[in-house]
Chain A
Amino acid sequence: MSQSNFSEAVIHRATFIERDSLTIPILKILQADGTTYEDAVLPQIDQQLSQRIFDACIFTRVLDERMLAAQRQGRISFYMTCTGEEAAVLGSVAALDDGDVILAQYREHAALRYRGFSTQQYMDQLFSNEQDLGKGRQMPIHYGINALNFQTISSPLATQIPQASGVGYSLKLQQKPNVAICYFGEGAASEGDFHAGLNMASVHKVPVIFFCRNNGYAISTPTEEQYAGNGIASRGLGYGMHTIRVDGNDMLAVLAATQQARAYAVKHSAPVLIEAMTYRLGAHSSSDDPSGYRSKDEEAKWQQHDPVKRFKLWLIKEGWTTEADEQALYSKYRDEVLAAVKVAEKVPSPKIDLLIEDVYDQPPPRLKQQLEELKQHIAKYPKAYPKTAGRL
């Protein structure tokens, strides 16, 4: 029967469902002091997994701090941080299998680290040098690596959402016991692509996890001016999707939710929506100054919910780390990042011949001709094209 998928209750007087009648609980496991709530059900986690997560946390903090500084010094042109959202990103990626495909927005480089992206690989992308896997074509932070099942980031927002549905469906048809995970912000969730992607996934029963980092702002726009409903989670329900809201600054809550989401998605071949409530501690990007649209007090308040600190306190309670371990990790990664910067800076830019490659599988004759003409032109005016003139 074609109309079977609506609820059965019948009424005989126009009675509207109240906007506020929908309560969506939020999963919290870890308290601010690193203890867990009394009745909390912990995720599957052991010392080894915690260490891997914590390592990626500290690396990401160091990377963000150093590269923002590098941007200020004019060494790289642009940067975006994950600061404040490490638990959302790492708690979720740590619940996945390495064969699960990640489609990210741009603030999820912690996930890439967790998967094994090397410090040098970050630097090569950020410095757009010859070693960059993306061949220097995109702005800094647009990472991507096939070997780690992390699709290359695209700047237009939300385009990855319907794509994730397609990736998930392909995993299903290829009979792989895997899911696609799609990260996006609450801002991107306003795009048409979000609605299209969720609808496709739910109708076609796709194993995909839609992971919304609801971090309070889309550049300067606060959530009150982004949506009027009950966050992003309520939309998952509207699309007939298994849905959960979690404290995005709580590593254990995010991990627990994602572990279960993944198990459900694989078992039932169905999409799941996770909304992680968090806060963008830093600026939108290195081009942005948040003092123009939000108060220092607000930022300070959120500093107290620092997800890395909260997780660390738990690890210390478990006896799995110490303050000294943390400091050692910081200095190890500072040295590592600094060394990688030095290497990356010395690697030359991609050669000019790369300009016409990968536009198509093979450069068509017209493109080859354009390249030839360009090279002749550069040879004629070497001073005007200092980066390429010497390497024709």
Chain B
Amino acid sequence: MAKMNMLQAINQALTLEMERNDRMLVFGEDVGHFGGVFRATSGLQDKFGKDRCFNTPLTEQGIAGFANGLASNGMTPVAEIQFADYIFPAFDQIVNEAAKFRFRSGNQFNVGGLTIRTPYGGGIAGGHYHSQSPEAYFTQVAGLKVVVPRNAYQAKGLLLASIRDNNPVVFFEPKRLYRASVNDVPEEDYEIPLGQAEVIQDGTDVTVLAWGAQVEVVQKACDMAKEAGISCELIDLRTLAPWDVEAVAKSVIKTGRLVINHEAPLTGGFAGEIAATIQQECFLYLESPIMRVCGLDTPYPLVHEKEYMPDAFKTFEAIKASVNY
């Protein structure tokens, strides 16, 4: 075990897998010698050479398309998109190509080896072009897996599982926790299985669900609720596609209530999908309407970031409203 921040844990996962799998490549804007603008790929070029860890020209479309080509021919590309806000130029290559390679070819070709890593989320005074949480766009794309770790330990295990998964994965990294989240992380190789939610805290009154950076936020809300005598069951979804319906339903059947928190805007956000599914699965067990605490239906603002965020206070209010319905 070692104390590690999320960037170090990600770096370690990449290093371990590059050592094990000589077909793995790491590339993206500034990821080579410089180690990426957040330094997640530091030292990899020195260790594995310029053929396996390199800067690309400044083209997300190119990065994703190149990665698709590599993966379709037996390689394991781990591509970095510098900020999730800049994944949209690569949207076509991800949505129409990566996700459908296997389906459209009758499984003659696939890009299962592909992983796209990208820092997402707000809380860093980044304004609307350095703060977005675009995960919901990708959850609608059949054929893709979507993974969001909440801390350093999770990041390492989930990233290793994502790289080894035989499907293309978009891996969203909560940038505001990159240095802030420090955990005990085993030095050795371990995987955290995809598609499984984790119950972080048992409780009886209400299920509170989040992923990525928001888990920390809802944890605070659960602590506030505890003071107010409310027992929260806290779940980290971890994988959004495919998501663990069973684990969430099981918890809601027990508690009878669900509060979902995410940073992306409310309308069309992934919380809507979860709410609809859970009300179908658990209708007879629900004691109150499923609550969503999300970003507002505006672009992510700069000066009103604090107000915009689905923070612990808003979540606490939703928990109370759910329990007192």
Contact surface of A with B, Cβ cutoff 8 Å:
77-78, 128, 136-139, 142, 154-157, 187-188, 190-193, 218-221, 225-227, 287-288, 292-293, 349-350, 352, 354-356, 359, 366-367, 370-371, 374, 377-378, 380-381, 384-385, 387-388
Contact = CB atoms under 8 A, between A and B. Distances in A.
Nearest to B34: A220
A359 B299 contact: yes
B307 A293 contact: no
A377 B29 contact: no
A77 to B, nearest CB: 5
Interface stretch (B94-102, B125-133, B204-212, B281-289): B125-133
Interface of B: 29-30, 32-34, 37, 54-55, 57-62, 85-86, 88-89, 125-130, 266-267, 296-299, 301-304, 306-308, 311, 313-314, 317
Nearest to A157: B58
Contacts of B32: 220-221, 225
29 contacts: A77-B125, A128-B303, A137-B127, A137-B299, A155-B127, A156-B88, A157-B58, A187-B58, A190-B58, A192-B59, A192-B62, A192-B89, A221-B30, A221-B57, A225-B55, A226-B57, A227-B57, A287-B37, A292-B34, A293-B34, A355-B304, A355-B307, A356-B298, A367-B298, A370-B266, A377-B314, A384-B311, A385-B306, A387-B306
Nearest to A217: B30
Nearest to A383: B313
Nearest to B50: A225
Which one of B33, B57, B58, B306 has the highest number of Cβ atoms from chain A below 10 Å of its Cβ? B58
A355 B267 CA distance: 16
Given A349-B303, A385-B306, A138 B58 contact: no
Contacts of A193: 89
A374 B296 contact: yes
A220 B303 contact: no
B91 to A, nearest CB: 11
B298 A359 contact: yes
Query: Ordered nearest first, which 10 A-B pairs have the shortest CB separation?
Result: A155-B129, A220-B34, A190-B57, A136-B303, A139-B127, A187-B58, A190-B58, A190-B59, A225-B55, A192-B61
A230 to B, nearest CB: 15
A188 B86 CA distance: 12
Given A221-B55, A356-B296, A378 B307 contact: yes
Contacts of A142: 127
B297 A366 contact: yes
B303 A377 contact: no
Given A137-B301, A387-B306, A156 B296 contact: no
Contacts of B125: 77-78, 139
B304 A352 contact: yes
Contacts of A371: 296
Given A219-B30, A355-B304, A381-B313, 17 more contacts: A78-B125, A128-B303, A137-B127, A138-B129, A139-B126, A139-B127, A155-B129, A156-B129, A191-B89, A221-B32, A221-B58, A293-B34, A355-B308, A359-B298, A359-B299, A370-B266, A384-B311
Contacts of B317: 377, 380
Nearest to B265: A370
A387 B306 CA distance: 9
Contacts of A288: 37
Contacts of B130: 139, 155
A166 to B, nearest CB: 18
Contact of B128 (A137, A226, A356): A137
Given A154-B129, A356-B298, A377-B313, A137 B303 contact: yes
A191 B61 CA distance: 8
Contact of B302 (A138, A219, A220, A352): A138
B296 A225 contact: no
Given A137-B127, A155-B130, A366-B267, A191 B297 contact: no
Contact of A190 (B30, B62, B127, B314): B62
B26 to A, nearest CB: 15
Contacts of B30: 218-221
A221 B28 CA distance: 11
A377 to B, nearest CB: 6
A136 B86 CA distance: 21
Nearest to A136: B303
Contacts of A139: 125-127, 129-130, 302
A374 B296 CA distance: 9
A339 to B, nearest CB: 23
B143 to A, nearest CB: 23
A157 B85 CA distance: 11
Contacts of B311: 384
Contacts of A138: 127-129, 302
Contacts of B129: 138-139, 154-156
